[in-house]
Chains A and B, each alone.
Chain A
Amino acid sequence: MIRFEGVGRSFGEVWAVRTLDLAIAERELCVLVGPSGAGKSTILRMINRLVEPSEGRVTLDGKELRSIDPDTLRRGIGYVIQGVGLFPHLTVSANVSVVPELLGWARARVSARAREMLELVGLDPDRYGPRYPSQLSGGEAQRVGVARALASDPPILLMDEPFSAVDPVNRLRLQQEFLSIQRRLRKTVVFVTHDVDEAIRLADRIAVLRSGSLVQYDAPEALLDAPADAFIAGFLGSDRALKRLSRRAIRDWMRPARKASVDEDLAGLLCGEDPGYWWVVDGSGRLLGCLDRALAGCSEDPRRIIAAQRIEDMAVDLDTSLKDALSAMLGSSARTIPVVDGAFRLVGEIALDDIERASDRAQSR
């Protein structure tokens, strides 16, 4: 547990942080969000004593930070910054090994750990280990930055706008990868960003800051449902309902799919009594296409219909959010779309009604 008690920090005349009370629970991903100059980074940097509070105190598991030697403290806290700050004269492996070496680990353990960490962040240790930072792309460099911060297995991870300098496509991937790493490792993470979408995507709890003060501290859903004031509502944006959907996973709201095997009498379905639709799958459950009585008549060849479809534009992955499902629905002008797993096997379907249901449920909380 990291606890700020009445913490203030001034730089000359300016108070970057004033009378902050904040408790960050163990194994939670806490995002500090706010416009620039809100004091986010100052708060973060007080946790590893790169900045000292002017008043109040910061404690870690009840122990005051001031009583811990800064270098010892920092070796137990992972730190990832926007500019990455890889050491240009050291290889990727050597960069990842820095903290374990500072801690005096045996050489074999250090190099095994470096390999493990590179694998964790999705970089092949044989390919990337001997490279130098100048030979990496921005996204790769930030992956190495995360691997380096996690190398000594610290219980706490501080991340200061780690993905801001990466292009949007890679940023989304890095965020998703980081979330899956965090689900496995369950570190106490303090994450600074000015990007509300990023905050909502990642956080267990969000602390909204404005000119050095904490204005609301809540789970993302609660924040979206009930912003404390007009500033927060404005900061969250006018698309709060959509953002709420982005926090909801399709897997929690989908329903069983109406499916038909490609080996069945598909023509019979088209001419039969049932006026509905079927998702057609092959023998291994992979989604092939859709037969809809409203669109296809009895005389048409079902296989031709399926072959002409671009079902992959319509299908959504069960690990994406309701927001993505809504987008896919609008894009394919269908009220019901199929849900697939990573191998494109049909696992369910989701309808516009389900999304409305999810949205209503959230508002009425």
Chain B
Amino acid sequence: MTKAELRAWLVAALLAASLILLSSSEAALKGLLGLLFPGTARPLYPRAALAFLVGEHLGLVAVSSLLAALVGISAGILATRPGWGSFAELAERLAAAGQTFPPAAALALAVPSLGFGFPPTIVALFLYGILPIVRNTMSGLAGVGPDVLEAARGMGMGRTRILFRIELPLAAPLILAGLRTSVIVNIGTATIGATIGAGGLGAPIISGLVTQNPSYLAEGAMAVALLALAVDALFAATSLRLAASRALSRAAAPGP
């Protein structure tokens, strides 16, 4: 394990530990918020425990990101198959449209058909998170050298085998980078779900804004920030692991 990788794992563990500490110990959280906002009578968001909100939030992000990953990676693969060039353009345009579309507007449009709560939030997050995944999958697969593909075909590997044994492993670092962007953005964006009753860490933030209680707001925002940083550090460590396990760069391994 390289020094950089070890550091990344440590940072991830530290961030995760502090989030767990804050959400598992009400006393600690209350103490911290009381310290930050000494004038507030009730510093703690009363309607749900922080641990529960973190769980809800993670649920929103996990479901939407999983869907975005499934659809995004599949679309990226399809778009790079020979004869699917026109689909490539369409896929990228749709994905780009998804991201240009403000998630709040997506929510507003999804509510009439899907009702309030979880489902419309998932749809909005899914649309918002799919672009980086599609785009990175496409450029990762397009970046596999023509010589490599020619050699693979010439050695008698079938299309599926080439995809799974050659193309996807080679595109993995870029796909992972796309997932990382998508997930991190969605952790922040998922807070808007609270406006239509999907819960999550947006709930104390909205409530804090409405009741003008900065302590509620800080509780939610702090947790979102910690969550995003922890997940990002996890991705960083994973991608370093991936790079080191195959010495994709000359610098990562002992030279000749």
Contact = CB atoms under 8 A, between A and B. Distances in A.
B155 A81 contact: no
B255 interface: yes
Contact of B256 (A48, A73, A85, A137): A137
A85 B250 contact: no
Given A87-B166, A88-B148, A135 B255 contact: yes
Contact of A102 (B155, B169, B247): B155
Nearest to A132: B247
Contacts of A70: 156
B1 interface: no
Contacts, number: 82
Interface of B: 145-158, 166, 169-170, 246-250, 253, 255-256
A74 B155 CA distance: 5
28 contacts: A50-B150, A50-B153, A50-B154, A71-B156, A74-B153, A74-B156, A75-B155, A76-B156, A79-B151, A81-B151, A81-B154, A83-B147, A85-B147, A85-B148, A86-B151, A88-B248, A89-B170, A89-B246, A98-B157, A102-B156, A102-B157, A131-B256, A134-B247, A134-B248, A134-B249, A134-B250, A145-B151, A158-B154
Interface size class, chain A: 20 to 34
Contacts of B152: 85, 87
B91 to A, nearest CB: 26
A84 interface: yes
Contacts of A89: 166, 169-170, 246, 248
A147 interface: no
Contacts of A102: 155-157
Contacts of A77: 154
A165 to B, nearest CB: 10
Contacts of A79: 151, 154-155
Contacts of B248: 88-89, 132, 134
Nearest to A98: B155
A71 B157 contact: yes
Interface of A: 48, 50, 70-77, 79, 81-89, 98-99, 102, 131-132, 134-137, 145, 148, 158
Given A135-B255, A136-B256, A85 B156 contact: no
Chain B interface secondary structure, helix, strand, loop or mixed?
helix
Contacts of A83: 145-147, 150
Contact of B150 (A73, A85, A136): A85
Residue of A71, A72, A77, A84 with most chain B CB atoms under a 10 A cut-off: A71
A102 B250 CA distance: 29
Contact of A73 (B148, B149, B156): B156
Given A50-B150, A85-B150, 8 more contacts: A50-B153, A74-B155, A76-B156, A77-B154, A79-B154, A83-B146, A85-B145, A85-B148
Contacts of A135: 247, 250, 253, 255-256
B155 A99 contact: yes
B103 to A, nearest CB: 36
B252 to A, nearest CB: 9
B219 to A, nearest CB: 45
B155 A84 contact: no
B155 A132 contact: no
Residue of B146, B148, B169, B250 with most chain A CB atoms under a 10 A cut-off: B148
